[in-house]
Structure 1
């Protein structure tokens, strides 16, 4: 269950390659207020791609 004022929140990471593939992860809002950018494997592309946080 998610509480209203949690420090760690769930975020959706969407591939910038345009495949529409997403990952779910959590981040600490206090330590990283900016959008996350990660390099992760995109199975539809069959390669590593940049994933950016969606809002």
Structure 2
């Protein structure tokens, strides 16, 4: 393993030193956060209404 040569830049690889990588990382974080929190924000009022009606 230490004797292996490092691979050169591949055509399919995404460079990690540019603004494209930063934007894709930020976009991924926003999508994952949105998919985690938006269902809770939308179902909260529904659960509250059901609790007031039947609770």
Give the structure-1-normalised TM-score.
0.19
Which has a greater percent of helix?
Answer: 2
Which has a greater percent of strand?
Answer: 1
Q: Rg bigger for which structure?
A: 2
Give the structure-2-normalised TM-score.
0.19
